Amino acid sequence: MEASGSEPEEERKSLGAEIAQQRQMKMMLEISIKELQKTAIEMEKRLGQVEEEGCEWRTRYETQRELNERLRLQLEEMRTKVKEGRDTLRERMNVMQGYNQQSKESLKQLLWKKEEERQSLQETLVDYEWRIAQEAKAYHKVINEKREVLNQLGETLDISTRQKKVKPATGPHDLERFKRKGRPSQEVDHEPTDSGGTWLPQLPAGALPRAHGVTTQQQHRQQTTSEAQQGPTRRRPHGDQLPKLGKFQSPVIL
């Protein structure tokens, strides 16, 4: 009986020791977990700092690389310029050596040819300047003529509008109306009328009166026939009048 009672006590003690051991292990694990969490937070902070430093160094690297590329291009450009300068200097030296090898007479002839070329170029320049001046004068003349034509057109339009507003007298009734309004009798007496008192339109000098039933073509034929019977007429040219150039005709430059 004593042996059977001592066994549960031993088991109880062993279980209590295991529980205490497990509690210690739990406490140690909790402490280690907290420490690991702290270290993880610190590592994350350091990782962020490293990334920022890496970005800064990356920008510095890219900037330096771009600067090196620009310097390389400038160096190549300077090398090409130096090469071109050397080639030009060699050509000039060859030309100078050729001049030195020539005689004085050949050099004088060459100088004379260059002087002739310079004079011809100068004459060409003067000729072009004179042509430009003439073209400018012609242009301004055309502009002035255009303005005059536009002014004349405006005046004719004004006159036509005024004539449309004022209707002329076309018969005896209109003449009587003008008399009633106060028109002088002398002006009415000078109006051309026939034997019956009908008003006749005024024709220009040399024009034939148009009969009743006669067309315009027949009237033109009658006028040409009368001119042929009279004979050719000579027009005396005025000495102060010269033939005018066309409005848009440019002057002939020799």
Token representation of residue 166: 């004022």
Please give the pLDDT value at position 21: 87
117-133 residue pLDDT tens? 999 999 999 999 999 99
> Measured between alpha carbons, how far is 84 from 76 in angstroms, rounded to an integer?
12
Kindly state the tokens that stand for 47.
Answer: 């990782």
Strand partners, 193: 199
Look at the chain and count its residues.
254
**How many whole angstroms separate alpha carbon 189 and alpha carbon 184?**
9
State both tokens at 242: 């010269």
Query: What value, to the nearest 5°, has the Cα angle with vertex 220 and ends 217 and 224?
Result: 140
Mean pLDDT confidence for 140-151? 93
Q: What is the pLDDT of residue 131?
A: 94
Rounded alpha-carbon distances, angstroms, from residue 210 to 192, 201, 207, 238: 15, 11, 9, 34
Q: Which residues pair with 199 in a beta bridge?
A: 193
Copy the structure tokens of residue 194. Answer: 């026939």
The pLDDT tens digits of the residues spanning 15-62 come to 888 888 888 888 999 998 988 888 888 888 887 777 777 677 888 888
Domain ranges of the chain: 2-72, 118-166
What pLDDT score does 170 carry?
55
Residue 248 has pLDDT above 50, yes or no: no
